[in-house]
A and B are shown apart, each in its own frame.
Chain A
Amino acid sequence: MASSFATQPIKDSVAKVNDEVAVGEDLDFQRKWWKFEKGVWIVFTLILALDLLGVFGRGWAAKAQRKAADGSIDVKYERIERTSTPSILTVNFDKSAIRDGEVSLYVGDSLVKQLGAQRVIPSPQTTAIGNGGLTYSFPATQVPASVEFALEPTGPGLRHFVIQVPGSAPVEGDIFVVP
């Protein structure tokens, strides 16, 4: 049995140029598109300029520094991070933070989980869990003394962190992780 196909008579529907060549040109649309193109390139240029400034992380605008109210620690970090991209958060200790030849440092869970702390430099002597975070202790002599956290955020979003020497004022901050 022969199969039947759907058919439709052809129509001269394509717009002609000079009434002789069927092209289907739409110059009005094209002029609007060129305007749109210009807008897109302006946005693209703006994105690159903002990126050079560090608005999307890894630049001048992303760098931040916070000091505890009592001056016990000073934290240098990037307020804008990128997902799965390594960065360093540095904690500088004041001499008041060194007690009996060691410093203790409490960090909230978000630093380890959401901000993806991969390692602590130097390695802590002890690590204790509790109070919604980890408390590290490091042997220390005198200032300058610092500890670095190698971060690698696991996903985008706004992350809050808390770092403090137990018994001293905390440093709190927010880090925005871009995709």
Chain B
Amino acid sequence: MYTIVHAVLGYFFLLLTVRVLSRRPGAQLTLFEFVIVFLIGGVIILSTVGNDRSVTNCATAIIAVGLMHRFVAWVKSRWPKLGEIIDGTPLVLLKNGEYQMEVMRGMKIDPEDIMAAGRTKGVNSIFGIKYAILERNGAISIIKAEE
């Protein structure tokens, strides 16, 4: 029973921690952020399974986490406002040649991150980007300026 309680508490604590880490640990994962993801994951495992390393205990923990994930996905689809809290909303980083500094500072995004996303779309200059949008999954979408 403790494993299930620990798994549920661990899931929500991890969700909160990753959410307040800002959106970068999503698609914009760098080596620096890999460290965070693996370290937090490893630590939470210790508290979830405790000293009981049996297959039964591990299976219970996996099922509990899986069900929590499904439950949260259902809650997000049922109440979009809760989806905003869990995933956030898309944010405009660059609009018509102007960086949106409040958003960039708030999300800890550098111009280099936007340019990196631009290069993947074949844009070779920041002036070639009309809109840069930070998506909910952490990816940066690029809408090119017209030639």
Contact = CB atoms under 8 A, between A and B. Distances in A.
A24 B131 contact: no
Interface in A21-60: 21, 23-27, 29-30, 33-34, 36-37, 40-41
Given A17-B95, A21-B131, A30 B51 contact: no
Contacts of A84: 50-51
A30 B20 contact: no
Interface stretch (B62-70, B83-91, B109-117, B120-128): B83-91
A8 interface: no
The 4 A-B residue pairs with the shortest CB-CB distance, nearest first, are: A26-B89, A40-B20, A37-B20, A23-B90
A18 interface: yes
B104 interface: no
Given A21-B143, A40-B16, A29 B89 contact: yes
A19 B20 CA distance: 31
Given A17-B92, A17-B95, A25-B89, 15 more contacts: A18-B95, A21-B143, A23-B90, A23-B92, A23-B133, A24-B90, A26-B84, A27-B103, A29-B89, A30-B89, A30-B106, A33-B88, A34-B106, A37-B20, A41-B20
A36 B143 CA distance: 31
| Residues of B in contact with A, size category | 10 to 19
A84 B52 CA distance: 12
Contacts of B16: 40
17 contacts: A17-B131, A18-B95, A18-B96, A21-B133, A21-B143, A23-B92, A24-B89, A25-B91, A25-B133, A26-B89, A27-B91, A29-B89, A30-B88, A33-B85, A36-B20, A37-B20, A40-B20
Contacts of A33: 85, 88
Nearest to A37: B20
Nearest to B143: A21
Contacts of B96: 18
Interface in B91-147: 91-92, 95-96, 103, 106, 131, 133, 143
Contacts of B84: 26, 29
A21 B91 CA distance: 12
B92 A25 contact: yes
Interface in B1-60: 16, 20, 22, 50-51
A15 B72 CA distance: 25
A25 B90 CA distance: 5
A36 to B, nearest CB: 8
Nearest to B16: A40
Nearest to B96: A18
Nearest to B6: A179
A34 B19 CA distance: 11
B131 A30 contact: no
A172 B85 CA distance: 48
Contact of A30 (B50, B91, B95, B133): B91
Contacts of B22: 37
A6 to B, nearest CB: 15
Contacts of A36: 20
A27 B88 CA distance: 10
